[in-house]
Chains A and B, each alone.
Chain A
């Protein structure tokens, strides 16, 4: 296992409790920030660390913080986005379930840096048991004067409020989250104005992912420069990857940026290879919203270089032959998986979760789903593959929020890389109707691969 900055103590029994967390070096970074540093120092360290938003977009956190409108008289808010509902992503849940105090510590440091007196944690409504865990941890932090008035005698005050969501994926989009937090229907807002100027209750607001806020703790502990030394290029530090699918060891792993994808999938430390000794067919590396890649392109870029777990290397080749690291929801498909069925599954999700506010997304997601269903059930027509490509292209980029892109990319990329599977469904309706048909495709060797070591 590589370096563990966030999850180092996660397996210690009772780490959820304040006393155990404190005994293992907890709240040391918060004390350091509050007592020895100024707010500007903290911001500088975060900027130096090169930390990028862990929610999916990978926007530099220091830059995002610098946009916050500090001139205004109005209060400023920090909102923690814990509405993790991307299919394949379960890293924040793991972090909050086991290390609730790490998140609270991150919130204390970040609030200090941003001059915030009220924080909100917007928790996905389905995480009912986590709300209890967080609530208990917040109460403990109040008892030990890490929250409330005059924290540790520094004169700083901070309150954290928990807000459970009502079960909408779209509320993970930051402006929809703010609307929902205000008690309205969770429709994304039209930008500009951006939340840094007009966010929650029309006040300047920063919205950060759980993992981003947690990563602030080790950054303050070890210093921004030391954090930036980990990783490759602009992808610095460590990242939680939630690996699932047809692998031997599904779970949440903390990796250093720059780990080769091949090592991640096949080494015993991490995923431990494909289950039942099968071959790798495809990977969705960043949650369902990012383009799917076939094995050949996943392990090596089109230039022949090894693909690494970094934002840049994943995006190598653009949308033609690349993908995105996204939120780190690493979904692995073996040779028996049916990509048509999988794509249909994803579109069902997006159809159900679209907020219905803007027309391309509302109508487009609901149009793609029945077409994919027909193809999967052996009732498709050959022209419908091109129709799907066309619909996806028309949704992409024309919507209010990135949801439209997220709904279009999985379809477009699956057809781009696995068109023969879609064609097979249309040409052989009897076979796809009657047989579990994932394994019957005849693939060129290049698209299904064993790693070099097993070949």
Chain B
């Protein structure tokens, strides 16, 4: 199937979503995704940041789709023409979504462990407004400890449901979910049950914001002061392939190996993540290549390639360059 995204044509298999097709092309034309996660079945469609315009539905039916569609959950048709950054309408909608996501966000980036590797931070840097138009009081929840290793800060949550899907699909025994509805929902374990599972720590990796953070790394360091190293060990629970975040010879934290879209290559177990913090536990392979746009790539392991921009719209691209 042949699909054209922002004037670039690519051949993909049937059933591919627009977002996956765009990732095959790569570069600036990839729509951002806050809730969709390729490894989690059923995720996506909720945050609406990946909305794109379908200018031509297919070769057979050249009509445009009446509304913007979520690229993460819309399958491509042969001959489909999609506009992402070449459509002012899409950029306008994305700006609106970022504004919606931020009106209840506490904007506590200075004290947030996710700062520097936060998808919402990157997104608002690219599409956000300079000032807020909302005067309403922000939604507030007390921070909750989910077990002795995970911290849940609901104020920062954007309700992407990724952690719920992870708990459902990776850990096998889900004890947390979404409670309430409307503007009052929260991710919770109801009776603050400990998530008792070897793989529960993965909810930290899938969280696009700082809502779920690692208590063993809490306030230890800013992520951009750490060197990300690929490391491995023989683990009886998981593949044992991780990224070790180091300062000198000290391991500050362990995460899954994330690709440039922030998705882990493999889910890792809690033993690797929380308990093996000694240099001697790991075989260090070498520096991790980080090609994300956020501040952690300032560790200049890889020279960032300046992306080419197709038909830029006036006034929208200076900030990105």
Contacts and interface: CB of A to CB of B under 8 A. Distances in A.
9 contacts: A190-B44, A354-B182, A355-B181, A358-B45, A358-B48, A359-B47, A363-B101, A387-B133, A399-B48
Contacts of A351: 182-183
A364 B99 CA distance: 10
Interface string B22-48: 000000000000000000000011111
Interface string B172-188: 00000110111111000
B97 A356 contact: no
Interface string A166-192: 001010000000000000010000101
A395 to B, nearest CB: 8
Contact of B183 (A170, A192, A366): A366
Given A360-B96, A387-B133, 6 more contacts: A185-B178, A354-B181, A358-B48, A362-B100, A365-B183, A398-B48
Interface string B51-67: 10000000000000001
A353 B46 contact: no
B206 interface: no
A161 interface: no
A433 B73 CA distance: 48
B46 A358 contact: yes
Nearest to B104: A363
A196 to B, nearest CB: 16
A57 B182 CA distance: 23
Interface of A, secondary structure class, is: helix
Given A190-B44, A398-B51, A398-B93, A363 B180 contact: no
B100 A359 contact: yes
Contacts of B182: 351-356, 362, 365-366
Interface in A375-425: 387, 390, 394, 397-400
Contacts of B74: 192
A363 B70 contact: no
Nearest to B160: A359
B45 A359 contact: no
Interface of B, secondary structure class, is: loop
A390 B104 CA distance: 18
Contact of B68 (A354, A366, A398): A398
A390 B100 CA distance: 12
Contact of A190 (B73, B136, B181): B73
A438 interface: no
Q: Which 5 residue pairs spanning A and B have beta carbons closest together?
A: A366-B183, A394-B96, A190-B45, A363-B100, A356-B185
B118 interface: no
B158 interface: yes
Given A367-B134, A387-B133, A359 B97 contact: yes
Interface residues on A, range: 20 to 34
A370 interface: yes
B136 A356 contact: no
A398 B159 contact: no
* Most chain B CB atoms below 10 A, which of A170, A357, A387: A357
B128 interface: no
B48 A356 contact: no
Interface in A148-177: 168, 170
Contacts of A358: 45-48
B46 A363 contact: no
Nearest to B44: A190
Given A190-B73, A365-B182, A398 B46 contact: no
B103 interface: yes
B79 interface: no
Contacts of B183: 351, 354, 356, 362-363, 365-366
Interface residues on B, range: 20 to 34
Contacts of A168: 181
Given A192-B75, A394-B99, A359 B48 contact: yes
Contacts of B103: 363, 367
Contact of A356 (B100, B133, B181): B181
Contacts of B97: 359-360, 398
Interface in A179-235: 185, 190, 192
Contacts of A387: 133
Interface of B: 44-48, 51, 67-68, 70, 73-75, 93, 96-97, 99-101, 103-104, 133-134, 136, 158-159, 161, 177-178, 180-185
A451 to B, nearest CB: 36
A390 B134 CA distance: 12
Contacts of B67: 397-398
A190 B181 CA distance: 18
Contacts of A354: 181-183
A362 B51 CA distance: 17
A134 to B, nearest CB: 27
Contacts of A363: 100-101, 103-104, 183
Given A359-B158, A367-B136, A394 B180 contact: no
A431 B48 CA distance: 42
Contacts of A370: 136
Contacts of B133: 387, 390
A399 B45 CA distance: 9
B48 A394 contact: no
B88 to A, nearest CB: 14
Contacts of B68: 397-398
Contacts of A360: 48, 96-97, 100
Given A356-B180, A356-B184, A400 B99 contact: no
A192 to B, nearest CB: 7
A370 B182 CA distance: 14
Contacts of A367: 100, 103, 134, 136
A387 B48 CA distance: 21
* Most chain A CB atoms below 10 A, which of B48, B68, B178, B180: B48
B21 to A, nearest CB: 16
Contacts of B45: 190, 358, 400
Given A168-B181, A190-B73, A356-B183, A398 B44 contact: no
Nearest to A370: B136
A190 B17 CA distance: 13
Nearest to A390: B133
A394 B178 contact: no
A364 B159 CA distance: 14
Contacts of A356: 159, 178, 180-185
Contacts of B185: 356, 362
Nearest to A381: B135
B181 A359 contact: no
B73 A359 contact: no
A356 B158 CA distance: 10
Nearest to A189: B45
A365 B181 CA distance: 12
A356 B159 CA distance: 8
A223 B119 CA distance: 59
Contact of A359 (B136, B159, B177, B178): B159
